[in-house]
Amino acid sequence: MIMIGQARARARSHYGELARIGKALGSPNRLLLLDLLRQGARTVESLAEAAGISMANSSRHLQQMRSARLVSAERKGKHVEYRLADGRVSAAFGTLRDLAEALLPEMDRLRRELGVLEPAEREEILAQVRAGAVTLLDVRPPEEFLAGHLPGARSVPLPELPRRLRELPREREVVAYCRGPYCPMATEAAALLRAAGYRARHLDLGVPDLSRRRVRPSASPRPRPPPVDLDTRKAGRPR
């Protein structure tokens, strides 16, 4: 039987385990890599390129998160592919972002600068998306689209958009989306479209933000691994 003193010491030890998670999250670069992995599994090379940091730094940060069991890794031929270890990791990221928005004044400035929508406008755009009343563009890289996307969305990565404008009907409003509220690709796409004479807006919800909004993301056929049902990935408080 555990003595009282031993039980208290063991109870205190769980804070050390919680601190492992906190330490692994305590880096802007690691949070960036984690947010990219919320979009789908990626190789180290792909993550480094998307994050704009070196391969060596990316690998080091990923190893630290792997040590804390936030991500897992699997070798695919010559490459190592990382993915979130559990859907609750994505939920924790969303909760951390919500907390920062609630407590940190700097987040208000960032929201204004990056065009984060007010709830009423977001819901109005999302209702049009659900109704199929707009042309929906996913402007993320192709591998993220393949991992999961909104039903009916067209994959038009942002760098390809200027030369693919002719594919888009001018009589319908265009709604672009990317990785979430603080991803600038969708606002850049909407501005480009408006400059070309289209009616265009952006939706600031990413695939991980949609599971509680009755918009079930789709996944394109892939030889491996089988698509993940994103409804099981609780992605933090909906916006």
Catalytic residue IDs: 178
CB atoms within 10 A of CB 95: 15
Task: Transcribe 66-84 into DSSP letters.
Answer: HHTTSEEEEEETTEEEEEE
Nearest CA among 56, 66, 2, 57 for reference residue 28 = 57
Q: Strands, E, within the chain: which ranges?
A: 42-43, 71-76, 79-84, 135-138, 154-155, 174-177, 200-203
Whether the CB-CB separation of 47 and 33 falls below 8 Å is answered with: yes
132: alpha, beta or left? (left if phi > 0; alpha if psi -120 to 50): left
